[in-house]
Structure 1
């Protein structure tokens, strides 16, 4: 059975929007063929956005919010007020989810920023990105892995009827990290490239932590040049991509992943600049069928491993557009069977 899900972020700018997003996700995806997810509402501020959300999960490292963004403060025990707020906000959001999902049984998905995008967006205590320091980025990745373990246990406690828990690592900056395109703090230089083996090792720490806790590790990268083979080699069971960003070889990699028991979340709805109405289920069904014909994949033979999603998060769209997208994805997944 083909499934339908979302990437993670949803529209809104206050706690009421989060509660509404939870209701929307459960309402549209809470029955088969839906794969509901923990919604994120980054419009509420830095503590609710991708980096702040991940730092709320990270274990044994504290941070504060500076004009240039998030910065580690060195060790644990001295979190800034914004870091404390990020942790509190995550707990509030999970409380809202737990209340709304009482009695739910079935699969569920959560998201957290991956180690390389986190290293490319967070500063060291002495300045510049964590990416610049081999030891600092190793420490951050390992702290993220331990924090994810705790997060998975917390979600299992809150969602006792969940029979398939997916943890999606968001890595939009990974292609830039591998290609030495991440700017230094001055803006005049670029951080050195990270070798694929080093990138794979750090990803593996977090993916292994997910798997060790009995959850299913995915990686989402909606940027061009997503290193799909590297992600699979690092231990990603699922690959979440933007269909419009794929190169010729990527289609073969995704087909191989499905044929060998992996999962593929295919981003088939553009959300960066939505124009007019959301695409209909019929349009999405035809688009996925063309991709299946191209790759030779039989959707009937992949179980619940083919998942239809938006190409990226939906924080920048209206609630009405987001609802229409999730409904169309759900219907298209049902059409595909």
Structure 2
């Protein structure tokens, strides 16, 4: 067993994953410049097929290939142009990140870098089998996808660490997790149903992936109905969850107990606070920080927990933002994170 690794940084800002535009060099330089404490390897979905979250995740799969069907990405027996294109996007993004890392003088610094992928449940929900059904409908295929993704992310993280001289943390995006547990996913046709997966089975699959990746893992979900209790149960030593990422303004009263239990269990919260689109003027840092302050007040925690257990991120959907506001959103995240980390009790 490898030595114990530190967890996610706290009191800092980071991004979710996607970014507007098509230029990986510009994106890498911006993210490293604005998110000095925890930059991430961005996704640029505006480039098209293979550059979105599912295409990027497909490029990480080991011994499994993807192609494009009329309804989405599909598993195929052999690597073709779509899979090669997704892998090429990933290589260009990593090369651009390495160049920007070198220009910033960060090689060998041991700085932390965040890597993202769709999680195994969302990947199983979005990828199709050869016959057109979701992978999620075939338990064996779902396990194969989870194994392949876990190994692919482990190898990817090791390569990034080697090339940058950095320490990698991992984020799995699971927007379909509530639908997988609730059985609300529709089949690809009127004759195709997708049954709910039992929570223990889902938890076991996630723990297996986390353990294989062997790095601090965050789970990101921007959908309503986040299974807080299950996520809290995933914190089980090295295979446990280090952080949970969500859009804070979307929380309801029904979510509060679950969020509080995560804090009590020692899980870091990645709060999506900064809007990704503007309706008029840009918010001031105090307006954004107030969302976090009111949350911990409602939970009954001292505000000092914001310095000990919280990161600040944009909300979901930054890839659809104007590029100038995307940069502004990262700066605002950084300003809010600094304020919450320094003297939250005085805010």
RMSD: 1.8
Would you say the 8 A contact 2:133–2:192 is kept in 1?
A: no
Choose from 50, 64, 78 the match for 2:53. Answer: 50
- Alignment partner, residue 178 of structure 1: 181
Residue 35 of structure 2 contacts residue 334 of structure 2 at CA under 8 Å; is this kept in 1? yes
* CA displacement, residues 73-124 of structure 1 (integer Å, 9 cap, x when unaligned): 13xxx11211011111101110100110123243221110000110111011
Structure 1 CA distance for aligned equivalents of residues 70 and 13 of structure 2 = 38
- 2:320 aligns to what SS in structure 1? coil
1:3 aligned residue = 12
- Report the counterpart of residue 21 of structure 1 in structure 2: 27
Could you tell me whether the CA contact under 8 Å between 1:112 and 1:170 is conserved in 2?
yes
How do 1:163-242 and structure 2 match up within 5 A?
A: 163=167, 165-187=168-190, 189-210=192-213, 212=214, 215-234=215-234, 235-242=240-247
Question: 1:1-337 to 2 correspondence within 5 Å?
Answer: 2-12=11-21, 14=22, 16=23, 18-30=24-36, 34-74=37-77, 78-102=78-102, 103-104=105-106, 105=109, 106-160=111-165, 162-163=166-167, 165-187=168-190, 189-210=192-213, 212=214, 215-234=215-234, 235-271=240-276, 273-298=277-302, 300-301=304-305, 305-336=309-340, 337=342
C-alpha deviation, 1:188, in angstroms: 5.6
Divergent runs of 4+, >6 A: none
- Decide whether aligned partners of structure 1 residues 166 and 187 sit closer, same or farther in structure 2, where only a CA change above 3 A counts: farther
Structure 1: distance between partners of 2:303 and 2:45: 34
The unaligned stretches of length 5 or more in structure 2 are 1-9, 235-239, 343-347
Alpha-carbon distance between aligned partners in 2 of 1:278 and 1:38, rounded to the nearest angstrom: 26
Following the alignment from structure 1 to structure 2, what is the Cα–Cα distance between the partners of residues 265 and 275? 24
1:309, CA displacement in angstroms? 0.9
After superposition, give the CA deviation of every residue in 1:37-85 in whole Å (9 maximum; x if it has no partner): 11111111121101010010111111211222111113xxx11211011
TM superposition shift of 1:296: 3.0
Q: Distance in 2 between matches of 1:242 and 1:40?
A: 19
- Are the structure 2 counterparts of residues 304 and 65 from structure 1 closer, same or farther at C-alpha, using a change threshold of 3 Å? farther
Larger deviation: 273-282 or 219-228? 273-282
99-108 vs 254-263, which deviates more? 254-263
Decide whether aligned partners of structure 1 residues 260 and 195 sit closer, same or farther in structure 2, where only a CA change above 3 A counts: closer
CA distance in 2, matches of 1:304, 1:151: 29
